[in-house]
Amino acid sequence: MINLTQSEGSGFEGNRLVSPARSAAPAWLWQSQLSKVTTVTQRPLELILARNLMSALSTPAFLVDEGGVLVFYNEAAGMLLGKRFEELGAVGPDEWGSLFGPFDQSGEPIPYDELPLVVAVRNGRPAHADFEISSADGTRHRVEASAFPILTAHGSQGAIAVFWPATSNNGTPS
């Protein structure tokens, strides 16, 4: 006989199984009854693990696939941009540049080819830059961005960029 308790997990106490309290059926259960997915392909595992890690970070972080499509950014990045990833979804390289900039110190848009994420994906090399981005409400944020490629046994699968508040020469946030 299974003993239901208020414990958060289920485990054995001797030969007695302790079970968790049950939650309501998750959203995908009823959603799956509305639209059945017939074909699923898996993202490269390295991107899956990168997304999982980024989801746990408090530093704004962005993930692009090998084609330069922005496939994920975390909650911290969403706060910076003023728009959650779940609201925006994946966007191609032409779109995300126009959505958020970035801009150089004179306010001019930075060419797409010079963005750290693009350099990292295309060249398979790390890249770093200092620029401004525009959030959804028009606020400009000066950031430093470090991007590095995700290289696997099957070649480059994408890149990660991490943003930091730009610092002045004396090391304080500018």
Structure tokens at 26: 């998750």
Please answer whether residues 48 and 54 qualify as being in contact, where contact means their C-beta atoms are separated by less than 8 angstroms.
Answer: no
Minimum CB distance to other proteins smaller for 17 or for 114:
17
- Rounded Cα gap, residues 95 and 116, in angstroms: 16
Torsion sign across C-alpha atoms 101, 123, 91, 58: negative
Q: Does residue 59 touch other proteins according to CB under 8 A? A: no
Q: Does residue 167 touch other proteins according to CB under 8 A? A: no
x/- contact string, 5-44, with other proteins (CB under 8 A)?
--xxxxxx--xxxxxx-x--xxxxx--x----x--xxxxx
Please answer whether residues 51 and 37 qualify as being in contact, where contact means their C-beta atoms are separated by less than 8 angstroms.
Answer: no
Q: Which of 113, 153, 170, 173 binds other proteins (CB under 8 A)?
A: 153
Q: Give the interface with other proteins as residue ranges (CB under 8 A).
A: 2, 7-12, 15-20, 22, 25-29, 32, 37, 40-46, 48-49, 51-53, 55-56, 153-154
